[in-house]
Amino acid sequence: MFRRGQSTTTAYLFLAPFLISTAIFFFYAFARAIYYSFTDFNLFNSPKLIGLQPYTQVVADPSFQRALTNSLIFAVVTTTLQTIFALLMAVALNNKLRGMAFFRSAWYMPSITSSVVITLIFLWLFQRRGIANYLITQWQTYQPLILTFLIGLVVAQVIQVLLERRSGLPARWTDPALAAVSALASLVVTAGLVWSGVAGPREVAPFDYQYFADKWISVGGVQILSIPLLVVIIQNTFTTVPTLMLFFLAGLQNIPGALYEAADIDGATPFQKLMNVTVPNLRPVTFYVITVGLIGTMQMFDQVAVIGSAAPQDTLITLAFYVYTNTFKAGAAPVNLAAAAAIILALIILLMVFIQRRFFPSEAR
Protein backbone atom coordinates (compact mmCIF):
# COMPACT_ATOMS: atom_id res chain seq x y z
CA MET A 1 0.00 0.00 0.00
CA PHE A 2 2.62 2.53 1.11
CA ARG A 3 5.67 3.32 -0.82
CA ARG A 4 8.84 2.26 0.96
CA GLY A 5 10.04 5.79 1.85
CA GLN A 6 6.66 6.71 3.24
CA SER A 7 6.46 3.71 5.54
CA THR A 8 9.94 4.45 6.92
CA THR A 9 8.85 8.01 7.67
CA THR A 10 5.76 6.73 9.40
CA ALA A 11 7.86 4.38 11.48
CA TYR A 12 10.18 7.19 12.52
CA LEU A 13 7.21 9.41 13.34
CA PHE A 14 5.86 6.79 15.70
CA LEU A 15 9.30 6.23 17.18
CA ALA A 16 10.03 9.94 17.50
CA PRO A 17 8.87 10.45 21.11
CA PHE A 18 11.12 7.67 22.34
CA LEU A 19 14.04 8.57 20.12
CA ILE A 20 13.91 12.20 21.18
CA SER A 21 13.61 11.47 24.89
CA THR A 22 16.41 8.88 24.69
CA ALA A 23 18.60 11.30 22.78
CA ILE A 24 18.06 14.12 25.27
CA PHE A 25 17.85 12.29 28.56
CA PHE A 26 20.28 9.51 27.82
CA PHE A 27 22.85 10.31 25.13
CA TYR A 28 23.03 14.06 25.71
CA ALA A 29 23.05 13.65 29.50
CA PHE A 30 25.70 10.96 29.28
CA ALA A 31 27.89 13.12 27.05
CA ARG A 32 27.49 16.05 29.44
CA ALA A 33 28.44 13.85 32.41
CA ILE A 34 31.61 12.73 30.60
CA TYR A 35 32.45 16.35 29.82
CA TYR A 36 31.82 17.53 33.39
CA SER A 37 33.98 14.75 34.78
CA PHE A 38 37.01 16.44 33.20
CA THR A 39 36.17 19.97 34.39
CA ASP A 40 35.96 21.96 37.62
CA PHE A 41 32.17 22.32 37.36
CA ASN A 42 30.29 23.09 40.60
CA LEU A 43 26.78 23.85 39.22
CA PHE A 44 27.38 27.60 39.27
CA ASN A 45 30.69 28.34 37.52
CA SER A 46 31.37 28.04 33.80
CA PRO A 47 33.19 24.71 33.52
CA LYS A 48 36.92 24.73 32.74
CA LEU A 49 38.76 21.61 31.59
CA ILE A 50 41.18 20.34 34.23
CA GLY A 51 41.97 16.90 32.85
CA LEU A 52 41.99 13.78 34.98
CA GLN A 53 42.15 15.61 38.30
CA PRO A 54 38.51 14.88 39.32
CA TYR A 55 39.14 11.17 38.79
CA THR A 56 42.25 11.15 40.97
CA GLN A 57 40.37 13.13 43.64
CA VAL A 58 37.42 10.78 43.57
CA VAL A 59 39.55 7.67 43.79
CA ALA A 60 41.44 9.16 46.75
CA ASP A 61 38.19 10.04 48.57
CA PRO A 62 37.64 7.58 51.47
CA SER A 63 33.90 7.87 51.12
CA PHE A 64 34.14 6.89 47.45
CA GLN A 65 36.29 3.90 48.37
CA ARG A 66 33.71 2.84 50.94
CA ALA A 67 30.91 3.38 48.42
CA LEU A 68 32.73 1.27 45.83
CA THR A 69 33.38 -1.58 48.28
CA ASN A 70 29.79 -1.46 49.55
CA SER A 71 28.38 -1.49 46.02
CA LEU A 72 30.52 -4.39 44.84
CA ILE A 73 29.82 -6.51 47.90
CA PHE A 74 26.15 -5.68 47.75
CA ALA A 75 25.97 -6.55 44.05
CA VAL A 76 27.77 -9.87 44.34
CA VAL A 77 25.98 -11.09 47.48
CA THR A 78 22.52 -9.95 46.45
CA THR A 79 22.78 -11.23 42.88
CA THR A 80 23.94 -14.64 44.10
CA LEU A 81 21.20 -14.90 46.71
CA GLN A 82 18.40 -13.67 44.51
CA THR A 83 19.35 -15.91 41.58
CA ILE A 84 19.49 -19.05 43.71
CA PHE A 85 16.27 -18.29 45.57
CA ALA A 86 14.45 -17.29 42.39
CA LEU A 87 15.43 -20.56 40.71
CA LEU A 88 14.36 -22.68 43.69
CA MET A 89 11.10 -20.81 43.99
CA ALA A 90 10.37 -21.16 40.28
CA VAL A 91 10.97 -24.90 40.44
CA ALA A 92 8.66 -25.15 43.44
CA LEU A 93 5.93 -23.11 41.79
CA ASN A 94 6.24 -25.02 38.52
CA ASN A 95 4.50 -28.02 40.08
CA LYS A 96 0.87 -28.70 39.42
CA LEU A 97 -0.62 -28.27 42.87
CA ARG A 98 -4.03 -27.22 44.06
CA GLY A 99 -4.24 -23.43 44.64
CA MET A 100 -1.04 -22.75 42.72
CA ALA A 101 -2.45 -19.52 41.28
CA PHE A 102 -2.82 -18.19 44.81
CA PHE A 103 0.77 -19.03 45.74
CA ARG A 104 2.08 -17.51 42.55
CA SER A 105 0.35 -14.20 43.20
CA ALA A 106 1.17 -14.25 46.92
CA TRP A 107 4.87 -14.72 46.22
CA TYR A 108 4.75 -11.98 43.63
CA MET A 109 3.34 -9.32 45.98
CA PRO A 110 6.66 -7.95 47.31
CA SER A 111 7.76 -7.16 43.79
CA ILE A 112 4.88 -4.89 42.92
CA THR A 113 4.96 -3.02 46.23
CA SER A 114 6.96 0.19 46.11
CA SER A 115 10.50 -0.30 47.39
CA VAL A 116 10.16 2.85 49.48
CA VAL A 117 7.23 1.32 51.36
CA ILE A 118 9.06 -1.97 51.83
CA THR A 119 12.11 -0.09 53.10
CA LEU A 120 9.99 1.73 55.66
CA ILE A 121 8.49 -1.57 56.78
CA PHE A 122 11.97 -3.08 57.11
CA LEU A 123 13.14 -0.05 59.10
CA TRP A 124 10.28 -0.76 61.44
CA LEU A 125 10.97 -4.51 61.62
CA PHE A 126 14.63 -3.98 62.47
CA GLN A 127 14.21 -1.18 64.98
CA ARG A 128 15.67 -1.53 68.40
CA ARG A 129 12.18 -2.42 69.66
CA GLY A 130 11.14 -4.00 66.37
CA ILE A 131 9.70 -7.35 65.40
CA ALA A 132 13.09 -8.91 64.64
CA ASN A 133 14.35 -8.30 68.16
CA TYR A 134 10.97 -9.29 69.60
CA LEU A 135 11.05 -12.67 67.86
CA ILE A 136 14.59 -13.33 69.06
CA THR A 137 13.50 -12.47 72.61
CA GLN A 138 10.56 -14.86 72.28
CA TRP A 139 12.87 -17.58 70.96
CA GLN A 140 15.18 -17.10 73.94
CA THR A 141 12.27 -17.11 76.37
CA TYR A 142 10.77 -20.34 75.05
CA GLN A 143 14.07 -22.02 74.23
CA PRO A 144 13.73 -24.63 77.06
CA LEU A 145 10.31 -25.70 75.82
CA ILE A 146 11.38 -25.84 72.20
CA LEU A 147 14.48 -27.85 73.09
CA THR A 148 12.45 -30.23 75.27
CA PHE A 149 10.04 -30.74 72.41
CA LEU A 150 12.81 -31.38 69.87
CA ILE A 151 14.63 -33.83 72.13
CA GLY A 152 11.36 -35.61 72.85
CA LEU A 153 10.64 -35.81 69.13
CA VAL A 154 14.00 -37.38 68.29
CA VAL A 155 13.85 -39.86 71.16
CA ALA A 156 10.29 -40.95 70.31
CA GLN A 157 11.20 -41.34 66.64
CA VAL A 158 14.26 -43.46 67.41
CA ILE A 159 12.25 -45.71 69.72
CA GLN A 160 9.45 -46.17 67.17
CA VAL A 161 11.78 -46.91 64.26
CA LEU A 162 13.73 -49.44 66.32
CA LEU A 163 10.49 -51.14 67.37
CA GLU A 164 9.26 -51.30 63.76
CA ARG A 165 12.56 -52.71 62.54
CA ARG A 166 12.63 -55.31 65.29
CA SER A 167 9.24 -56.56 64.08
CA GLY A 168 10.79 -56.87 60.62
CA LEU A 169 9.22 -53.80 58.95
CA PRO A 170 11.38 -51.54 56.72
CA ALA A 171 11.03 -48.17 58.48
CA ARG A 172 13.06 -45.10 57.45
CA TRP A 173 14.40 -42.66 60.06
CA THR A 174 12.37 -39.88 58.40
CA ASP A 175 9.13 -41.79 58.03
CA PRO A 176 6.41 -39.09 58.08
CA ALA A 177 3.69 -41.21 59.69
CA LEU A 178 5.92 -42.21 62.57
CA ALA A 179 7.17 -38.60 62.87
CA ALA A 180 3.62 -37.37 63.32
CA VAL A 181 3.07 -39.80 66.15
CA SER A 182 6.43 -38.85 67.70
CA ALA A 183 5.57 -35.15 67.49
CA LEU A 184 2.26 -35.77 69.22
CA ALA A 185 3.91 -37.82 71.95
CA SER A 186 6.63 -35.22 72.47
CA LEU A 187 4.03 -32.46 72.64
CA VAL A 188 2.16 -34.33 75.36
CA VAL A 189 5.37 -34.89 77.33
CA THR A 190 6.37 -31.21 77.01
CA ALA A 191 2.92 -30.06 78.08
CA GLY A 192 3.12 -32.42 81.06
CA LEU A 193 6.50 -31.01 82.07
CA VAL A 194 5.18 -27.44 81.83
CA TRP A 195 2.10 -28.34 83.83
CA SER A 196 4.15 -30.01 86.57
CA GLY A 197 6.48 -27.01 86.63
CA VAL A 198 9.63 -28.91 85.64
CA ALA A 199 10.17 -26.95 82.42
CA GLY A 200 8.92 -23.48 81.57
CA PRO A 201 9.70 -20.28 79.74
CA ARG A 202 12.85 -18.49 80.91
CA GLU A 203 13.08 -14.94 82.18
CA VAL A 204 15.35 -13.16 79.71
CA ALA A 205 16.20 -9.51 79.19
CA PRO A 206 14.73 -8.16 75.93
CA PHE A 207 17.11 -8.76 73.05
CA ASP A 208 18.38 -5.30 72.29
CA TYR A 209 20.38 -5.35 69.09
CA GLN A 210 20.78 -2.16 67.09
CA TYR A 211 20.73 -3.17 63.44
CA PHE A 212 21.20 0.33 62.06
CA ALA A 213 24.38 1.13 63.95
CA ASP A 214 28.04 1.30 62.99
CA LYS A 215 28.52 -2.48 63.16
CA TRP A 216 30.57 -4.51 60.73
CA ILE A 217 31.40 -8.05 59.76
CA SER A 218 35.17 -7.89 59.55
CA VAL A 219 37.67 -10.31 58.11
CA GLY A 220 41.18 -9.88 59.42
CA GLY A 221 40.44 -6.42 60.75
CA VAL A 222 39.09 -5.20 57.39
CA GLN A 223 35.49 -4.06 57.49
CA ILE A 224 33.74 -6.04 54.79
CA LEU A 225 30.01 -5.90 55.23
CA SER A 226 28.03 -3.67 57.58
CA ILE A 227 24.98 -4.92 59.45
CA PRO A 228 22.71 -2.17 58.02
CA LEU A 229 23.80 -3.21 54.52
CA LEU A 230 23.04 -6.81 55.42
CA VAL A 231 19.49 -5.77 56.29
CA VAL A 232 19.23 -4.03 52.91
CA ILE A 233 20.55 -7.19 51.23
CA ILE A 234 17.83 -9.26 52.90
CA GLN A 235 15.22 -6.73 51.87
CA ASN A 236 16.46 -6.47 48.31
CA THR A 237 16.52 -10.25 47.92
CA PHE A 238 12.99 -10.40 49.31
CA THR A 239 11.69 -7.85 46.80
CA THR A 240 13.55 -8.92 43.66
CA VAL A 241 13.23 -12.69 43.90
CA PRO A 242 9.60 -12.73 42.64
CA THR A 243 10.36 -10.83 39.42
CA LEU A 244 13.34 -13.00 38.64
CA MET A 245 11.29 -16.06 39.54
CA LEU A 246 8.87 -15.09 36.80
CA PHE A 247 11.67 -15.22 34.21
CA PHE A 248 12.72 -18.64 35.45
CA LEU A 249 9.10 -19.83 35.39
CA ALA A 250 8.84 -18.77 31.75
CA GLY A 251 12.10 -20.57 31.03
CA LEU A 252 10.89 -23.72 32.78
CA GLN A 253 7.83 -23.94 30.54
CA ASN A 254 10.17 -24.27 27.57
CA ILE A 255 12.08 -27.28 28.85
CA PRO A 256 10.74 -30.36 27.02
CA GLY A 257 8.97 -32.75 29.38
CA ALA A 258 10.63 -35.66 27.55
CA LEU A 259 13.95 -34.77 29.21
CA TYR A 260 12.45 -35.26 32.67
CA GLU A 261 10.79 -38.48 31.60
CA ALA A 262 14.13 -39.77 30.35
CA ALA A 263 15.74 -38.75 33.64
CA ASP A 264 12.99 -40.53 35.56
CA ILE A 265 13.61 -43.70 33.54
CA ASP A 266 17.30 -43.44 34.41
CA GLY A 267 16.30 -43.26 38.09
CA ALA A 268 17.49 -39.67 38.73
CA THR A 269 16.72 -38.08 42.12
CA PRO A 270 14.93 -34.69 42.16
CA PHE A 271 18.26 -33.00 42.99
CA GLN A 272 19.98 -34.71 40.05
CA LYS A 273 17.14 -33.62 37.77
CA LEU A 274 17.53 -30.04 38.99
CA MET A 275 21.29 -29.95 38.47
CA ASN A 276 21.48 -31.94 35.21
CA VAL A 277 18.29 -31.05 33.38
CA THR A 278 16.82 -27.83 34.72
CA VAL A 279 19.91 -25.72 35.36
CA PRO A 280 21.68 -26.37 32.02
CA ASN A 281 18.47 -25.78 30.07
CA LEU A 282 17.85 -22.49 31.88
CA ARG A 283 21.27 -21.10 30.94
CA PRO A 284 19.97 -18.27 28.66
CA VAL A 285 17.48 -17.19 31.34
CA THR A 286 20.14 -17.38 34.05
CA PHE A 287 22.43 -15.19 31.97
CA TYR A 288 19.67 -12.61 31.64
CA VAL A 289 18.73 -12.80 35.33
CA ILE A 290 22.33 -12.35 36.49
CA THR A 291 22.92 -9.45 34.11
CA VAL A 292 19.76 -7.65 35.17
CA GLY A 293 20.55 -8.43 38.82
CA LEU A 294 24.09 -7.05 38.63
CA ILE A 295 23.02 -3.87 36.88
CA GLY A 296 20.13 -3.34 39.30
CA THR A 297 22.19 -3.96 42.42
CA MET A 298 25.14 -1.84 41.28
CA GLN A 299 22.74 1.07 40.89
CA MET A 300 20.94 0.52 44.19
CA PHE A 301 19.89 3.89 45.58
CA ASP A 302 16.34 4.11 46.87
CA GLN A 303 16.73 1.98 49.99
CA VAL A 304 19.81 3.91 51.08
CA ALA A 305 18.06 7.23 50.46
CA VAL A 306 14.99 6.20 52.44
CA ILE A 307 16.98 4.88 55.40
CA GLY A 308 18.94 8.13 55.20
CA SER A 309 20.31 9.26 58.51
CA ALA A 310 18.74 6.35 60.42
CA ALA A 311 22.03 4.50 59.87
CA PRO A 312 25.57 5.91 59.84
CA GLN A 313 26.34 6.94 56.27
CA ASP A 314 29.50 4.87 55.85
CA THR A 315 27.63 1.66 56.53
CA LEU A 316 25.24 2.13 53.63
CA ILE A 317 26.74 4.52 51.10
CA THR A 318 26.69 3.12 47.56
CA LEU A 319 28.08 4.55 44.34
CA ALA A 320 24.70 5.82 43.17
CA PHE A 321 24.11 7.48 46.53
CA TYR A 322 27.60 8.99 46.45
CA VAL A 323 26.83 10.52 43.06
CA TYR A 324 23.54 11.88 44.35
CA THR A 325 24.89 13.44 47.56
CA ASN A 326 27.73 15.11 45.69
CA THR A 327 25.39 16.63 43.12
CA PHE A 328 22.61 17.88 45.36
CA LYS A 329 24.12 19.82 48.19
CA ALA A 330 23.22 23.15 49.71
CA GLY A 331 24.82 25.59 47.29
CA ALA A 332 27.96 24.92 45.29
CA ALA A 333 28.54 21.19 44.87
CA PRO A 334 31.43 19.08 43.53
CA VAL A 335 29.47 18.00 40.45
CA ASN A 336 32.68 17.14 38.62
CA LEU A 337 33.50 14.53 41.27
CA ALA A 338 29.95 13.16 41.11
CA ALA A 339 30.19 12.92 37.31
CA ALA A 340 33.54 11.15 37.54
CA ALA A 341 32.07 8.67 40.04
CA ALA A 342 29.08 8.09 37.75
CA ILE A 343 31.37 7.35 34.81
CA ILE A 344 33.40 4.95 36.94
CA LEU A 345 30.16 3.23 37.96
CA ALA A 346 29.12 2.92 34.31
CA LEU A 347 32.50 1.47 33.38
CA ILE A 348 32.33 -1.09 36.18
CA ILE A 349 28.89 -2.25 35.05
CA LEU A 350 30.05 -2.51 31.44
CA LEU A 351 33.07 -4.48 32.54
CA MET A 352 30.94 -6.86 34.60
CA VAL A 353 28.60 -7.58 31.70
CA PHE A 354 31.55 -8.00 29.36
CA ILE A 355 33.26 -10.51 31.63
CA GLN A 356 30.03 -12.41 32.02
CA ARG A 357 29.48 -12.55 28.27
CA ARG A 358 33.06 -13.63 27.70
CA PHE A 359 33.23 -16.44 30.25
CA PHE A 360 29.64 -17.55 30.73
CA PRO A 361 28.08 -18.26 27.34
CA SER A 362 24.42 -17.34 27.19
CA GLU A 363 23.39 -20.13 24.80
CA ALA A 364 22.06 -23.46 25.97
CA ARG A 365 24.53 -26.26 25.45
Partner 1 sequence: MKKVLTLSLGLALLAASASAQTASKTIKINGYGGTDQTLVNDLINRFVKPQMAKDGVTVVYQPLQGDYNKALTTLLAANTAGDVMYLPAETVDGFVATGKILPLNGLVTPTPFIKSLNTAFTRNGKLYAIAKDFNTLTVVYNKDLFDEAGVAYPNNNDTWTSLATKLRQVKQKLGSDYYGTCLQPNFDRFGAFAYATGWQQFGANGKTNLADPRFAEAFNWYTGLAKDKVGVQPSELSAGWNGDCLKSGKVAVAIEGGWIVNFLRDNAPNLKFGTALLPKNNKTGQRGNFLYTVGWAINSGTKNKAAAAKVLNILTSPQVQEYVLQQGLAIPSRSSLTNSAYFKKADPGAQNAKLVFQGADDGYVRAFTFGPKGPDWAKPINEALASVLSGQKSAADALKKAQADMTTFQSR
Stretch 48-87 residues interacting with partner 1 (CB under 8 A): 61-62
Q: How far apart are CA 83 and CA 286, in angstroms?
A: 8
Q: Judged by CB, which is closer to partner 1: 299, or 325?
A: 325
Q: Judged by CB, which is closer to partner 1: 62, or 221?
A: 62
| By CB under 8 A, residue 283 contacts partner 1 | no
Cβ 1 to partner 1 shortest distance, Å: 26
Cβ 171 to partner 1 shortest distance, Å: 53
- Applying CB under 8 A, the span of 27-35, 123-131, 133-141, 194-202 interacting with partner 1 comes to 123-131
Closest among 234, 230, 235, 227 to 118, alpha carbons compared = 235
For residues 330 to 359, the per-residue mask of contacts with partner 1, x marking binding by CB under 8 A and - elsewhere, is xxxx--------------------------
Q: Which of 35, 301, 312, 349 binds partner 1 (CB under 8 A)?
A: 312
Q: Which of 329, 351, 354, 361 binds partner 1 (CB under 8 A)?
A: 329
Stretch 186-225 residues interacting with partner 1 (CB under 8 A): 210, 213-214
Q: How far apart are CA 237 and CA 70, in angstroms?
A: 16
Q: How many residues bind to partner 1 according to rule CB under 8 A? A: 19
| By CB under 8 A, residue 23 contacts partner 1 | no
- Please state the separation of Cα 90 from the chain's center in Å: 15
CB 213 within 8 A of CB 312: yes
- Interface residues with partner 1 (CB under 8 A)? 42-44, 61-62, 127-129, 210, 213-214, 312-313, 328-333
